[in-house]
Each structure stands twice: as C-alpha cells, then as structure tokens.
Amino acid sequence: DAGVIQSPRHEVTEMGQEVTLRCKPISGHNSLFWYRQTMMRGLELLIYFNNNVPIDDSGMPEDRFSAKMPNASFSTLKIQPSEPRDSAVYFCASSWERQVQETQYFGPGTRLLVL
C-alpha cells in the first residue's frame, strides 16, 4: 500500500487566495483526520471523518476553513481566503476504526506558506 497520500507537498500562496489541500487515505480505512502543526500550538486536530461523515469539526479555526470527504478515497481541506497565520504544516491521517480509535497512519504533510 502506498500509505496516505497528500498533495501538494508544498504550497506558497498570497494572502487572500484560495488554498485546497488534498488527501487520499489508505484503502479500506474508514476514518480520516486533518491536523495542523505550528511551532506555537503544536499538532492540533482540525476535523475527523468517519465513513465520510464529519464527526467532530470543533478544531476548525473559523469559517474560512472547510473540509469535505465526498467518498472513501478522497478528502479536501480548503482555506478561503487564506491569511499569513494559516502558514503551517497540514497533515492528513487515516485509520480503521472499530470500537476504539485504532492506529492512525499519517501522510507526509503539506507545508503551506501564506505571504
């Protein structure tokens, strides 16, 4: 298996532009997570999907952020409009959840820089 795939790996954009981050989870996994990592705040959970349904989006910073999971093999995290404070590494992870949270497998991350 190729593991969790994220694209792009690096993104540089200007303030006000729309940014779309993409994630392909491991085949067969039914849970997907988006995390953001910064030096100041560490690794934070943004949103968690189970069977393509958002279960907990309490970590999404504000209305500028939105996430979708149209099918079991694809998810997007969109920032519109982007701001410099959104600069961070964004990780996607997937797992096979049964009764308790199973092991999460992380992608390589997308390094976002908003100028």
Q: Which residues contact 42 (CB under 8 A, 6 or more apart)?
A: none
Distance CA 51, CA 76 (A): 15
Any contact of residue 56 with another protein (CB under 8 A)? yes
Cβ at position 62, least distance to another protein in Å: 18
Q: Is the dihedral of CA 77, 99, 5, 43 positive or negative?
A: positive
Any contact of residue 72 with another protein (CB under 8 A)? no
Any contact of residue 93 with another protein (CB under 8 A)? yes
The two three-digit tokens of residue 42, written as one number = 């560490």
Cβ at position 81, least distance to another protein in Å: 27
Q: Give residues in contact with another protein (CB under 8 A).
A: 4, 33, 35, 42-45, 48, 56, 58-59, 91, 93, 100-101, 103-109
